[in-house]
Amino acid sequence: MNGAVSMVFFPAQAGFDLAWAREALTAQGLSVDAQPGALAVRWDEDGPVLRVAYAQGEQIAREALERAGEGAPAEARLRACTARFEIAIDDLDEALDEMNTLIEVQSTLQDGTGGYLFNAWNAQWSA
C-alpha cells in the first residue's frame, strides 16, 4: 500500500508550528531536515522518511468534524481544533514495518499539542 496520511488536530496556539515540531522531534533523537513548507523526518538513514506539514485555519476544524462524523464523542472538542500537523507517508507498508519512526513522530506531536490523532488509512482516532 502506498501513500497515506496521519494527522494531529489541535487548537491553534502560539508556539505550535513547524519550528516547534522540528525542535520537539529533534529532542526525541529523530533526524529532521527542513524543506519548503515541511519537515523530512527519519529515525535512521535506512528508515522511511515522513513529511510533516502544518496548517491552520477554520477549515481545519471542519475537516476534523467531517472525518469524525456527525455525533462523534469528541465533536465539541474537535470544533476547537483549528490547526493540524499532517504526517505524509510515501510507503505505508514500509512505515508500518518499521513503525518506531511513525509512532515516535505521532506521539511527539500529539502529546506536545494535546491533540487528536487521526490515521486516514484505517479511519481511527486517538485522543
Nearest Cα residue to 108 out of 6, 1, 2: 6
The pTM is what?
0.91
Structural domain of 19: 4-126
Average pLDDT for the chain? 90
Residue 74 above 80 pLDDT?
no
Q: Which tens digit of pLDDT belongs to each residue from 91-103?
A: 999 999 888 999 9
Nearest Cα residue to 26 out of 56, 54, 52: 52
- C-alpha to C-alpha distances, 101 to 77, 78, 113, nearest whole angstrom: 28, 26, 18
What lies within 8 Å, CB to CB, of 37 at 6+ separation is 18, 53
Q: Which tens digit of pLDDT belongs to each residue from 27-56?
A: 999 999 999 999 999 988 888 999 999 999
CATH value at residue 93: 3.30.530
pLDDT of residue 113: 96
pLDDT of residue 1: 46
pLDDT of residue 67: 82
Determine the Cα angle at 71 with ends 66 and 77, to 5°.
75
The number of domains in the chain is 1
